[in-house]
Amino acid sequence: MVESPLLPLDIADNIIEALTLCDPDLTTVKACSLVCHDFLYICRKHIFASITLNPFPAAPLSRNFGWTQKGPTQKFKQLLLDAPQLADYVQELDYTYESQDLNNAAELCQLFAKFTRLKYLVIAAAYGLWWNTSPLRPAFLRLFHLPTLVGLEVSAMNGFIVTDLAPCVNLKRSR
């Protein structure tokens, strides 16, 4: 006989939701994820909802993981290799790339292919890289055209082709 949980999952979800509002670092939510399997799945929804991958030390690299300035993109890629289901929780991705990332373009394209439920995407090029010659362009276009994407920001990208956004029928906000 399977026992029903003492705390209904919708109540637990409301509690975790309230915790995320008063704890921007998600420290309490991370601790709650260790309580039981049911809490783990509820907490992952919040822990991995917003991911920032930025190679610059002046910017916070991830509010979720407290990564140092050494390789946040590579660490996140390894995390998704170990637990690919985590990509389903990511709703917001903020990615700043620089020219050295282009050396790993194939790996980055594989990483970005795992995101299927993005709602908001921010892409910035560190030094004004060229859009039409970027080997990451196909991966970015696939993300742009996700049916779930409603917000997009592209900055410091030379030669951005606005008509690439034509298939983005659900896009409500772009900059």
Give 34-46 pLDDT, tens digit per residue.
988 888 999 999 9
Residue with tokens 């975790």: 16
CB–CB of 117/86 below 8 Å? no
Residue 125: closest CA among 54, 46, 30: 54
The average pLDDT across 121-142 equals 88
- Going by C-beta distance under 8 Å and a sequence separation of 6 or more, which residues neighbour residue 117? 88, 89, 90, 91, 146, 148
d(CA 58, CA 103): 23
d(CA 131, CA 125): 9
pLDDT range class, residue 62, cuts 50, 70, 90 = very low
Q: Is the pLDDT of residue 60 over 50?
A: no
CB–CB of 111/73 below 8 Å? yes
Averaged confidence pLDDT in the chain: 84
**pTM of the full structure:** 0.81
pLDDT at 59 (0 to 100): 44
